[in-house]
Amino acid sequence: QVQLVESGGGLVQTGGSLRLSCEASGRTFSSYAMSWFRQAPGKDRLFVATISRTGDSTYYSDSVAGRFTISRDNVKNVMYLQMTSLKPEDTAVYYCAADSVGRSGTVLIDRYDFWGQGTQVTVSS
């Protein structure tokens, strides 16, 4: 199995940028398709972005496409989410997740085996 730890969250103004990191330990990081999800207070956890095991395929939710970039470094065992042009509606706890079955990642939350503890992102207006 794999252990996931997110970092990089914080408070930023509208239009600002943040880069989230998800550090993995345990089983080989490249064995997992990886994704970011987010959960705002009182709302469901929603898909944000996914990246394949090798990093050659990515997919984004409509709400973040063109503003966020997901990437990974399989040597350093880290996944990133570069967030730009942030909006107040991006405020949420951001979670990274690992899928041990699929190669390309999925938007389906139930497919993910392992989760980090989350990192808070707050965008002020």
Which residue's structure tokens are 């239009």? 15
Q: Which residues pair with 3 in a beta bridge?
A: 25
Return the pLDDT at 115.
97
Select from 80, 92, 74 the least CA-distant residue to 12.
92
Of residues 83, 81, 98, the one with CA closest to residue 24 = 98
Tens digit of each residue's pLDDT, the chain (125 residues): 899 999 999 999 999 999 999 999 987 899 999 999 999 999 999 999 999 999 999 999 999 999 999 999 999 999 999 999 999 999 999 999 999 888 888 999 999 999 999 999 999 99
d(CA 61, CA 98): 17
